[in-house]
Structure 1
């Protein structure tokens, strides 16, 4: 499972994106690059799983 977010584009980059949309006749969506998953030890994974149970949510560890 990877979560992505819409990219934050400058006005200049947004204009370029819209130009491509016009050229291709399509809608393009820009997303931020997804960071790599963190390489956790078994102990760290257990700690994350404990927090998941406390929160009732899924946690995903990414590299910084």
Structure 2
């Protein structure tokens, strides 16, 4: 697995998912953290990234 560039920070450390990968998934129509988990593996470990993922996906609490 390649490491993201410093300008592309990891949002989910457990799943090695970068901010760009989350935004690309959002642009493809992913609208929930559960859908994102299935596609990218984000939020499949400790769960600490959930709020950041929701922010990037534009999900209101």
TM-score under structure 1 length normalisation: 0.20
Q: Answer 1 or 2: which has greater strand percent.
A: 2
Larger-gyration structure (1/2) = 1
The alignment's TM-score, normalised by the length of structure 2, stands at 0.20
